[in-house]
Amino acid sequence: MAKKRPAKKKPTKTSTPQVTKVKPLPYRAFIGAALILVLAAIVYWLIFKPFASPQFDGENAFEQLVKQCDFGSRVPGSEGHRTCGDFLLAELRRYSDRVSEQTFTYTDKKDSSRVYRGRNMIASFNLQPEKGYRVMLCAHWDSRPFADKDPDSSRHADPVPGANDGASGTAVLLEMARVLDAFPPEIGVDIVLFDLEDLGDYGAEDHPDSLNPFSIGAAYFAAHREQYTPRYGILLDMIGDQDLRIKKEAYSQAAAPLLMDQIWAAAKTAGATAFIDSTGVAITDDHVPFLRQGIPVVNLIDFDYPYWHTVADTPDKCSPASLQQVGDVLVEMIYR
């Protein structure tokens, strides 16, 4: 019986996968996609940028306080006064839109042979503000030539280091200059540093012909301000005390109660517990020449400072936390 040959298997056809050719995107499509990404980034930036808010740094301010004291006492006519003044001008030029220096001379009423050369410094931010008005933030940068309140009478002729009384307010304003540069305000802001605040004699108001007044630089600025009239001003003096307690200075409260209320409301919002809602003593300071001209400039000051006009007014008596509270209130006033 013949064997049957097995049937040959027909070869199966393997299907060749079809490859769909993708045409390369034209050049214009790449450009369009890139533009979409750029526009998306811009929209994202516009939406989320407002959440970046001005932040005052008390540690930076404290460093500025120490730097000033490192020049020595800033007594008018001294080398420390000259070099620190140059430093302050350079710092203000780093951040502001315009800086000017107002120089003047003052002849000592007790010794006519002694002539002091003063330097007021003005740094302006936002020269054409949208809201159409300007405010002034100010402090004095000089220090007292004689420590006549020192418990050691042998030190009365020594100059005061001026860490709190002089450097603290200036330090806060230098840090504010950085903030104003990083976050341009809608209003115009002018930082003014007054010279020759602390040359005065006690009792000069009763004997103006024979004794030197306080606030010589501020009085000169107020008398030569030309058309400059800020909507309001805030003076900082002795605001670095470790145990900071700022009451409502009496002259300020009497002349500008609404402004004082706004500042204390800003302090509450900022959590600045050093601001005490009670009226303190009346203090003759750099705000008085402006109040006499009807310009509401108020004084933030803690006058309860045991090292006032002594050789112990040094940086170790001051605190970054105190500077932080004052700076936070200024930020609240300028930006909110």
What span, in angstroms and rounded, lies between the C-alpha atoms of 175 and 134? 19
Task: Please indicate, yes or no, if residue 45 is contained in any of the structural domains.
Answer: no
Task: Please indicate, yes or no, if residue 145 is contained in any of the structural domains.
Answer: yes
Q: What pLDDT does residue 21 have? A: 53
The per-residue pLDDT for range 269-292, each reduced to its tens digit, is 999 999 999 999 999 999 999 999
Task: Please indicate, yes or no, if residue 90 is contained in any of the structural domains.
Answer: yes
Task: Please indicate, yes or no, if residue 1 is contained in any of the structural domains.
Answer: no
Instruction: Provide the CATH number for the domain around residue 168.
Output: 3.40.630.10
Task: Please indicate, yes or no, if residue 290 is contained in any of the structural domains.
Answer: yes
Task: Please indicate, yes or no, if residue 311 is contained in any of the structural domains.
Answer: yes
Q: Is the pLDDT of residue 156 over 90?
A: yes
Beta-strand runs (E) in the chain? 98-107, 115-125, 134-140, 188-194, 232-237, 246-248, 275-279, 297-301
Contacts (Cβ under 8 Å, ≥6 apart) of 121: 85, 88, 89, 92, 99, 100, 101, 102, 141, 192, 193
Task: Please indicate, yes or no, if residue 62 is contained in any of the structural domains.
Answer: yes
The per-residue pLDDT for range 73-90, each reduced to its tens digit, is 999 999 999 999 999 999
Task: Please indicate, yes or no, if residue 33 is contained in any of the structural domains.
Answer: no
Range of the domain at 112: 57-335
What pTM did the predictor assign? 0.85
* Total number of domains in the chain: 1
